[in-house]
Amino acid sequence: MNERPFAHSVLILFAHPALQKSRVNRQLMHAVRDLEGVTFHDLYEAYPDFHIDVRREQDLLDQHDIIVFQYPLYWFSVPALLKMWEELVLEHKWAYGKEGVALRGKKLMSALSTGGRESLFCREGFNRCTIREYLEPVEQLARICGMEYLPPFVIHGTNELTGPEIGRHADDYRRVIEAVRDNRIDWEAARSFPRLNTDLDAVIRK
């Protein structure tokens, strides 16, 4: 019997401070939360009082190969509870430092939505930086912990999205998470795009 039916185990760390108002991440959540081989972990649901159980979180990280941070971009950063999670869970001598090897060889991916349109995220645009530049703190965190940082799944311009468009993004997200789990992403091809979901047919193998 095959004990591990999937190539990778995926842990989605979901952080939305106001889920009751969410249009986009709520649908994305419903698209992936019941996938086999995927653990969906809603941080604001688990820790409404911000008392993070560090050992439980480290155990979850131990049990998975691929970690996904899913969140809406808030003030060009991760929401506060996810930032706190980074500060408390990724301990010295566990996640980084000479003896901190727990995360080495794992992969980290960001999956986020932004109110701002894609055209704003460039040198000449209102936001002055690309989305990859805004994600650099997460990318550097991954490097320091010995993890590979994967190209991000990004949905821009959320305020202008219609219901059917959000539905298509949710389908894409499910496709990506399944492909990550089954090791069907061509990462070299994905790296040539600003975000993973620019052209899914070009990056997901059948």
Ligand X SMILES: Cc1cc2nc3c(=O)[nH]c(=O)nc-3n(C[C@H](O)[C@H](O)[C@H](O)COP(=O)(O)O)c2cc1C
Which positions lie near ligand X, rule CB under 6 A?
16, 22-25, 72-76, 113-116, 158
Following DSSP, what letter does each residue of 118-170 receive, concatenated?
Answer: GGGSSTTSTT-S-HHHHTHHHHHHHHHTTPEEPPPEEE--GGG--HHHHHHHH
Q: Please report how close the Cβ of residue 116 comes to ligand X at its closest, in angstroms.
A: 3
Q: Which is nearer to ligand X, 24 or 108 (CB)?
A: 24
Position with the least CB separation from ligand X:
115
Q: Which is nearer to ligand X, 112 or 147 (CB)?
A: 112
State phi, psi for 77 to the nearest 5 degrees. -150, -175
Q: Which is nearer to ligand X, 9 or 27 (CB)?
A: 27
Q: Please report how close the Cβ of residue 84 comes to ligand X at its closest, in angstroms.
A: 16
All residues at 6 or more sequence positions from 71 whose CB lies less than 8 Å from its CB, including other chains: 14, 15, 16, 25, 78, 79, 82, 111, 112
Q: Please report how close the Cβ of residue 18 comes to ligand X at its closest, in angstroms.
A: 7
Q: Please report how close the Cβ of residue 86 comes to ligand X at its closest, in angstroms.
A: 18
Q: Which is nearer to ligand X, 74 or 85 (CB)?
A: 74
Among 46, 47, 114, 44, CA closest to 74: 114
Total count of residues recorded for the chain = 206
